């Protein structure tokens, strides 16, 4: 079985835009999903469930992929530089629905309002990577997870610095990888950026603010080129 999501004899994903060049598709996907993130954020969102996760994905990528918001039908891997070319073990296609439901069940059992900010971040850093590790979609899983995390955090009265997370895409992905290694998982990297991203006061998004510049220096990368997901037998 081949990757049913890719154009024949190509690594480029089939898309509604008719794009056949990988770099052009990456650019279009980034621009459209970013614009859709802003639209979704303005509307607000409070469906913290598997169905809500699918809805966010559909809102972000529905203009690009016919399968947006639908669970993938193939197993995938992604060779991580951080893991010397190995991949995190994502959910098998037969288990996606159950494992995503279980991850949300764990999240929704927590008494979040009783936690200090520091404990809130620690819980977030341990539970949201479980959503990410399911990797229910063929593409766009990290952005969907971060968007869900944004709504979830703000639902409980905090402010969430989306710009910091977007500017730190490589660091964020690596943090999810480190938090998804079973008994060898490490959560400190994700906790560190979440402590900076989650605030009790409104966020100053002016690009030249001292806090933004410092945060970008800590986490940002100007040369991030994410590896592509591959079909896994």
In a domain, 92, yes or no: yes
Residue 231: its pLDDT value, please? 62
- CATH number of domain containing 144: 1.10.3290.10
Q: Which ranges of the chain have pLDDT less than 70?
A: 1, 206-216, 220-229, 231-233
In a domain, 136, yes or no: yes
Residue 221: its pLDDT value, please? 63
In a domain, 177, yes or no: yes
Q: Model's pTM, two decimal places?
A: 0.91
In a domain, 20, yes or no: no
Q: How far is CA 191 from the centre of its chain?
A: 15
Three-state helix/strand/coil letters over 57-125: HHHHHCCCCCCCCCCCCCEEEECCHHHCCCCCCCCCHHHHHHHHHHHHHHHHHCCHHHCCHHHHHHHHH
Q: Do 128 and 145 touch, CB atoms closer than 8 A?
A: yes
Residue 230: its pLDDT value, please? 72
pLDDT in tens, 18-27: 999 999 999 9
In a domain, 24, yes or no: no
pLDDT in tens, 9-65: 999 999 999 999 999 999 999 999 999 999 999 999 999 999 999 999 999 999 999
Residue 66: its pLDDT value, please? 98
In a domain, 49, yes or no: no
Q: Which domain holds residue 106?
A: 76-232
What's the residue count for the chain? 233
Question: How many domains in the chain?
Answer: 1
228 DSSP 8-state letter: P
Say how far apart CA 226 and CA 233 lie, in whole Å: 22
In a domain, 175, yes or no: yes
Q: Exposed, middle or buried: residue 145 (CB in 10 Å: 0-12, 13-18, 19+)?
A: buried
In a domain, 184, yes or no: yes
């Amino acid at each position: 079985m081949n990757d049913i999501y890719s154009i024949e004899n190509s690594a480029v994903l089939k898309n509604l835009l008719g794009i056949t060049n990988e770099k052009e598709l990456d650019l279009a996907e980034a621009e459209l999903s970013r614009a859709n993130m802003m639209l979704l954020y303005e509307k607000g969102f409070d469906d913290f469930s598997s169905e809500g996760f699918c809805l966010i994905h559909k809102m972000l990528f529905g203009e690009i992929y016919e399968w947006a918001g639908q669970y993938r039908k193939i197993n995938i891997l992604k060779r991580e530089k951080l893991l010397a070319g190995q991949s995190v073990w994502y959910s098998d296609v037969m288990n996606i629905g159950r494992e995503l439901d279980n991850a949300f069940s764990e999240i929704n059992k927590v008494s979040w309002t009783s936690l200090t900010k520091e404990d809130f971040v620690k819980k977030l850093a341990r539970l949201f990577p479980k959503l990410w590790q399911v990797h229910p979609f063929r593409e766009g899983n990290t952005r969907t997870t971060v968007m869900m995390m944004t709504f979830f955090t703000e639902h409980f009265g905090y402010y969430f610095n989306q710009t910091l997370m977007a500017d730190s895409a490589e660091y964020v992905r690596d943090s999810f990888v480190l938090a998804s290694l079973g008994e060898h998982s490490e959560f400190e990297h994700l906790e560190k950026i979440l402590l900076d991203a989650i605030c009790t006061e409104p966020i100053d998004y002016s690009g030249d603010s001292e806090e933004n510049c410092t945060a970008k220096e800590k986490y940002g990368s100007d040369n991030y080129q994410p590896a592509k997901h591959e079909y896994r037998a």
